[in-house]
Structure 1
Amino acid sequence: MRKAARAALTRVFTAGGAFALTAVLLAQGPTNASTGGAHAGDPTPGPTPSPAPTATATATATATATATPDPAVSPAPSPSASAHAAVPVGTKVRTFSYGQHPRQRMDVWWNSTGPRRPAVFIVHGGWWSSGDKRSLTSISQSYVRLGYTVVNMNYRLSGDAPWPAQRTDALSVIKTVRRHAALFNTDPDRYVLVGFSAGGHIATALGTYGDGLPGLRGVVGISPVVSPLASYEDGSDPLADAAVRKLRKSAALLAGGCTPGRCSRAWSSMEVAFHASPGDAPVLTFHSDDEFVPPYQSEILRQELLAVGVPMTIMTMPGTRHSSALYREPGVAETVQAWIASRLNR
């Protein structure tokens, strides 16, 4: 971790806060938060009612070569013309509601013939305050062509509701699809999450939710904001560039407009590494060396996951490309796809 950031993070929680952040990051054992993994505002994970590298302990690698709903709501389909193009013959695609809010929608691609297929859940970015699943339609279709059931989700933004609403929505998407696994011809016990930027934060937060989500085999983060606390502190530097300062403001908005010193409970809930436990899914993250979401954020999570026996791989690329632009760099998508295939036994 950068020395300046490490020093700044020690000041995040005052004496009145929940704990000393540095002590937690560097010496914390498996905790899953003070309630043993339960998070206020989130549905309890578990069975739902009916109606290219392998992850290792390697700290950082360079990707230069190509690797060989709301639970009570039944999904209601609606047309999604933009999602229909460029998929294999026989593939069905619909947009479903998984809750009452206009943002609680998901596009699902599936094939009703043959054996049940593992699923890939896609989570878009956008500073937690903007963005839409439509921006990741082509990436979603690439996984459809690889033979997966694919779920590309929207979720409530920070302007709609503060954290943990975003995690709650993503949990609802997963529970809805698992509940209707027969409809989507998918295996409810074989799925991965792929999140981009702020969506990478949501995806990795699901990866450390409770003591592991049922059926979750792996989490991929592309430029994931693994540590909103680190982003908040980095953005306090008056010499920080505009994107870093914007990320600080976006993290505070996600916390309901509250600073870490005043709302330590909310910020602790947002911090992915604080909830690492032995049952969590393996993680792969990609960063650019000089992007505004630096690789050291993933190092924070990796340290805590390795401490509880969960493998995590961090890969970096030269330059400043971020999120989907980084994903489209030569070799990145292929490496991610190979890692996902290894996790889903494809």
Structure 2
Amino acid sequence: MRIAVHVGALALAAVALTPVSASATAQEPTPSPTVAVPATSDDVYGLSTETIAYGPHRRQQMDVWWTPDGQQRPGVFLIHGGWWSSGDKRYMKEITRGYAELGYTVFNVNYRLSGDAPWPAQRTDALAAIAAARKHAERWSFDPGNYVVVGFSAGGHIAAAVGTYGDGVSGLKGVVGLSPIISPLQAFTDGDSRKTTDRGRRKLRHAAIKLAGGCAPKGKCSRVWASMEVAWHASRHDAPVLTIHSQDEFVPPEQSILLRDQLAKVGVPVTVLTQPGANHATALYREPGVAERVQTWISERIG
């Protein structure tokens, strides 16, 4: 018999975040007190699920899937893609379920989109979600000192930005990116209509401009573009990284090679894998063997 476990709503306390170090170029705002959203239920044997608001904005919510057996379990944070301007955690449900069934406590995160707030709001939200999860770890059978962040496309950029925030984020043992945008500056250059007819690259250029608040990477906007560059914030206590790209997709493997080269200088390992074809993000993840490769890498870091 399959059992759906229903969980009551929870009023979470306020989460206060401060910048970890001066390597973050923009001040991260402090999230407001969190509130609970009515629990959802899912017909998954032995798992509990609920949706939690970690901030006051409607996008500042995450779904939590966990095994309520009293054991501390490693955590997986999932960050969806969508050009920073669209997408939703509901599209990550099957991937969330998969990691929960493997025994992890899983946090499927929504964040403010570029139309809601410019960078660094998206990184701020990911950090706030992690802080809320760690603060209430006991409720979700979560080990707050043992987790990874997995991001897809624009979500991969946010995940990698968390990974290079400050001089390491407490408890973070690894970052995985599926088609991650490591360098919005490179995407801006690659998407120049005078240089390419690739619709994906041209759209990504415009998406990066929108993320930066609507301005190109020069003059008064240079600081926010610098903050968006993941590799520029590499430091020796950052988490190891795995990235996977399709060889011919519009977010090329060269994006991740930039991060690999910078993190190598401070002794942090980065593995960059490529697949044939042009599949992107979740489509790439669903190719034969890719999810298994990611899961193996994660298990080697958090068990």
Q: Give the TM-score of the pair, scaled to structure 1.
A: 0.79
State the match for 2:212 in structure 1.
255
Show structure 2 runs of 5+ residues with no match: 1-20
2:33 pairs with one of 63, 69, 73: 73
User: Does the alignment pair 1:147 with 2:103?
Assistant: yes
Q: CA shift at 1:39, angstroms?
A: 4.0
User: Does the alignment pair 1:213 with 2:169?
Assistant: yes
The AA in structure 1 aligned to 2:300 is S
State the match for 1:184 in structure 2.
140
1:121–1:150 CA contact under 8 A, matched in 2 = yes
Q: CA shift at 1:75, angstroms?
A: 4.6
Q: Deviations over 1:202-222 (max 9, x none)?
A: 000000000000000000000
Q: CA shift at 1:111, angstroms?
A: 1.6
Question: What secondary structure is seen at the aligned counterpart in 2 of 1:106?
Answer: strand
Q: Deviations over 1:136-169 (max 9, x none)?
A: 1000100001000000010000000000000000
State the match for 1:240 in structure 2.
197
The AA in structure 2 aligned to 1:200 is G
Question: What secondary structure is seen at the aligned counterpart in 1 of 2:168?
Answer: coil
Counterparts of 1:242 and 1:333, CA distance in 2: 27
For residues 151-230 of structure 1, the aligned pairs below 5 Å read: 151-230=107-186
Q: After alignment, is 221-230 or 90-99 more displaced? A: 90-99
Show structure 1 runs of 5+ residues with no match: 1-34, 45-69
Q: Deviations over 1:85-115 (max 9, x none)?
A: 4x3x221100111111111110001122142
Q: Deviations over 1:306-326 (max 9, x none)?
A: 000000000000000000000
Q: Percent identity?
A: 59
Counterparts of 1:337 and 1:174, CA distance in 2: 20
For residues 1-346 of structure 1, the aligned pairs below 5 Å read: 36-42=22-28, 70=31, 73-80=33-40, 84-85=42-43, 87=44, 89-238=45-194, 239-262=196-219, 263-344=221-302, 346=303
Q: CA shift at 1:38, angstroms?
A: 3.8
Q: Which runs of 4+ in 1 moved over 6 A?
A: none
2:24–2:233 CA contact under 8 A, matched in 1 = no
Counterparts of 2:280 and 2:94, CA distance in 1: 17
1:143–1:150 CA contact under 8 A, matched in 2 = yes
Counterparts of 1:224 and 1:119, CA distance in 2: 20
Q: Deviations over 1:109-130 (max 9, x none)?
A: 1122142001000000000000
Question: What secondary structure is seen at the aligned counterpart in 2 of 1:233?
Answer: helix
Counterparts of 1:204 and 1:247, CA distance in 2: 17
The AA in structure 2 aligned to 1:260 is P
Asked which structure has the greater RCO (Cα within 8 Å, sep 6+), the reply is 1
Counterparts of 1:40 and 1:288, CA distance in 2: 32
Question: What secondary structure is seen at the aligned counterpart in 1 of 2:137?
Answer: coil
The AA in structure 2 aligned to 1:127 is W
1:75–1:176 CA contact under 8 A, matched in 2 = no
The AA in structure 1 aligned to 2:249 is E
Q: CA shift at 1:330, angstroms?
A: 0.5
Distance verdict in 2 for CA 1:241–1:290, change over 3 Å: same
State the match for 2:18 in structure 1.
none
Q: Give the TM-score of the pair, scaled to structure 2.
A: 0.90
2:24–2:227 CA contact under 8 A, matched in 1 = no
Counterparts of 2:255 and 2:39, CA distance in 1: 39
